[in-house]
Structure 1
Amino acid sequence: MNWTRGKIVGRGSTATVSAATCQESGETIAVKSAEFHRSEFLQREAEILSSLNSPHVIGYRGCAITKEPSSNNDGEATTYNLLMEYAPYGTLADVASKNGGFLEEARVVKYTRQLLLGLEYIHNSMGIAHCDVKGSNVLIGENGEAKIADFGCAKRVEPERTEPVRGTPAFMAPEVARGERQGRESDIWAVGCTVIEMVTGSTPWSGAGWNDPVSVLYRVGYLGESPELPCSLTEQAKDFLGKCLKKEAKERWTASQLLNHPFLITKPEMMVTSLVTNSPTSVTDQMFWRSVEESEDRPSWWECHEDERIGVLSCSGQFVVDSTWDMDGADWITVR
């Protein structure tokens, strides 16, 4: 595919995301780029994304290796590019913020159903766990549909294969917080946290004043605590979240079971005709690990922070602390 790079819409420590135009069709696409020697996670994401084909997963458009100005401005560098479907309405977190900081229940039901359809596909048909489900990793497509994105932490579920756990602290399941295992069941816990995020307009635990990710991981992994449920939820919604937030991974409902929960099947499908009035203008997110005053802008759009995510958590009960950890998993500068 021949394409022309446009404006940068997001920048992380190892990758950038740009809007681009396909020369043959005129289609707008998103291009996630990293210098080749720092593109391990991006290549891994491309390998997984290229194997997926679902209306509830962001579309793969190809990959390319180009020569780009180096980050040190000392000549050209080889760049690895992942080409993807362009989602014009930003992330689920953006949409919640632009609707007064929360989403009404009918819209929560719509997006939750679509998120679970995407997870059902990657869990059951493809044997993949996403490992970083959250509002800022769910994009809103051209027709207002939710699509799972950012497979930089994803892995194929193989019982005999062990890998370091990765993801975002505020959305981590107990077994992940303890560094034991990470799989499909962990994604379901994160779905529950994402529903809380949609309802409240903020990440789980943020309202409790626990800004230290290590403290949150300890509370989840060793004290057996769960995120507080918003009091505004209906009984059906609370029951649904209870099925997601079971402390024992094997007791959590699967994506297929949750799709048949009354919370999701008793509401009519909601047509979204207008999500936002303008394209997102900021890729800044509140960072809990750092003492930064909360921004007016919600976390936005594409995220490409592979190595800022959680690294290894030791299995001996002690956390490996990295200075780049943050509660939301974002590490962006603003691009206007």
Structure 2
Amino acid sequence: MNIPKCGCKENRPPTAGRSACGCSVNIQKMTTDTFKVPAVPINRPLCTKGTELKEQPISTKNELKKDDKKKTWSLSDFDLGRPLGKGKFGNVYLAREKESHYVVALKVLFKSQILDSEIEHQVRREVEIQCRLRHPNILRMYGYFHDEKRIYLILEYAKHGALYKLLKERGRFDEKTAAIYIRDLTKALVYCHTKKVIHRDIKPENLLIGHNWELKIADFGWSVHSPSSRRMTLCGTLDYLSPEMIEGKPHSYAVDIWSLGVLCYELLVGLPPFDAKDSHQTYRKIRYVIIKYPEYISEKAKDLMGKLLVINPEERLPLVNVLQHQWIVENAPEGVQPPEFNPEQK
């Protein structure tokens, strides 16, 4: 088995038993003074009438004037609230834009840590890609700015946090709930692929839940704009890697289809399908698609996963066909919204 060795210093630590990523990237190390961020249009968030920094529905009826979009952002434009999350390279805070009172999530990254870990290209790519995506199931990036030491990403605020946290609280989801999430994720991936974007790191930790409990793809750090649709870099989270990626073969949009199948299993079972005691066993299970389905999984759900988790990328079920699959049609017909969860309900 040809498994490229991971040389990425960003190599993510395992999350609650989840294996880390693997990525071999070599880029020239730069000083903080030479750190460059991509030049993409910066749009101000929409105006709202809120006056307090609260976790509540945000009105987005009023558009800002065109002249406002020319503004250069700075930290003084925001009131910072409580921390929403902590990562290796910085933190995410609840924030409110002072002029419009629009509530956002402000992701603060430290340039020195990014440069030391040699992932400047990933941050630049994340900003370039996410700023241009517009889909109800993709987390918006409204803009960004930076100072001498930090980069600030202005993101849509997803009130209910990560899907991973919700999944762990509940253990697993019923088939209707899982089907709704898979339906909406599929729609977002179809949109990404039409924009020539491969996400490459679909997993519950990178999927957020918005105010209306809708699913939103976040974290485009491993994403790539790939017009040629053929890539070689080994990246992502081990449990979600496709067979072609672990064998170092060129990969395409089909890696996201594979990850969709892995996610479907994890939502229904509570664990990824190739979970094992060590990475070598996980690699083996992935390479030969060794899956054990619990008895409570329906035949239609198994049929869908079986058509997604296929060794040959060309034989995986196309995303548009996923939306037409009987399991999706019966459990998540168009118009059915995700369920609302109370913390007390398990």
TM-score by length of 1: 0.72
Correspondence for 1:31: 106
Deviation at 1:198, TM superposition (A): 0.7
> Partner residue of 1:18?
93
Indicate the residue corresponding to 1:311 in structure 2.
Answer: none
Aligned 8 A contact 2:232 2:248 in 1: no
Look up the equivalent residue of 2:291 and give its one-letter code: P
The aligned runs of 1:313-324 (5 Å cut-off) are: none
Cross-structure match for 2:154: 83
2:15 is matched with which residue? none
- The Cα shift of 1:157 comes to 2.1
Which residue matches 2:316? Answer: 252
* Structure 1 residues 26 and 275: CA distance shift in structure 2, 3 A: farther
Q: Distance in 2 between matches of 1:58 and 1:8?
A: 18
How many residues align? The count is 261
- What aligned pairs does 1:120-159 form with structure 2 within 5 A after superposition? 120-123=190-193, 125-159=194-228
Q: Is the 8 A contact 1:92 1:198 kept in 2?
A: no
1:37-48, aligned counterparts within 5 Å?
A: 37=112, 38=114, 40=120, 41-48=122-129
In the TM superposition, what are the counterparts of 1:202-281 in structure 2 within 5 Å? 202-206=271-275, 210-221=276-287, 224-267=288-331, 268=333, 270-272=336-338, 274-277=340-343
Matching residue within 71, 79, 83 for 1:4: 79
How far apart, in 1, do the equivalents of 2:160 and 2:307 lie?
A: 30
Aligned equivalent of 2:144: 63
| CA distance in 2 between partners of 1:15 and 1:203 (Å) | 28
Indicate the residue corresponding to 1:54 in structure 2.
Answer: 135
The Cα offsets for residues 231-251 of structure 1, whole Å up to 9 and x where unpaired, read as 211111111101110111000
Structure 2 counterpart SS, 1:233:
coil
Aligned-residue offset at 1:95 = 2.0
What SS does structure 1 have at the residue aligned with 2:152? strand
Any unmatched runs of 5+ in structure 2? 1-72
Structure having the higher Rg: 2
Q: Distance in 1 between matches of 2:230 and 2:338?
A: 41
Unaligned runs of 5+ in 1: 68-77, 279-336
Question: The residue matched to 1:24 in structure 2 has which SS?
Answer: coil
Change (3 A) 1:195 1:62: same
Q: In the TM superposition, what whole-angstrom CA distance separates every residue of 1:99-140 from its partner, at most 9, and x where no partner exists?
A: 3x01111111111100000000001x2011100011111111
Distance 1:219 1:203 in 2: 11
The match for 1:183 is: 252
Q: Distance in 2 between matches of 1:149 and 1:251?
A: 27
SS of 2:124's partner is helix
Identify if the C-alpha distance between structure 1 residues 113 and 273 changes in structure 2 by more than 3 Å, giving closer, same or farther.
Answer: closer
Shift of 1:151: 0.5
Q: What is the aligned-residue identity percentage?
A: 28
TM normalised by structure 2 equals 0.70
- Per the TM alignment, residue 275 of structure 1 is displaced from its structure 2 partner at its CA by 2.4
Is the 8 Å Cα contact of residues 230 and 251 (structure 2) preserved in structure 1? Answer: no
Q: Which of 1 and 2 has higher RCO (CA within 8 Å, sep 6+)? A: 1
Q: Distance in 1 between matches of 2:315 and 2:339?
A: 38
Can you list the C-alpha shifts for 1:246-292, whole angstroms capped at 9, x where unaligned? 111000012111111111112345444532449xxxxxxxxxxxxxx
Code of the aligned partner of 2:192: I
Q: Distance in 2 between matches of 1:30 and 1:226?
A: 40
Q: C-alpha root-mean-square deviation of aligned residues, in Å?
A: 2.0
Deviation per residue, 1:10-31 (Å, 9 max, x gap)? 2222232222112122222112
Q: Secondary structure at the match of 1:266?
A: helix
- Structure 2 Cα separation of the partners of residues 249 and 111 of structure 1: 23
Q: Partners in 2 of 1:246 and 1:97 — Cα distance?
A: 27
Cα pair distance change 1:181/1:227, threshold 3 Å = farther
Contact 1:132 1:167 in 2 (8 A): yes
**1:275 and 1:151 mapped to 2: Cα distance?**
27
- Residue 8 of structure 2: aligned partner: none
Give, in whole Å, the separation in 1 of the partners of 2:271 and 2:235: 21
Q: Tell me how far apart the structure 2 counterparts of residues 33 and 8 of structure 1 sit (CA, whole Å).
A: 11
2:178 match: 108
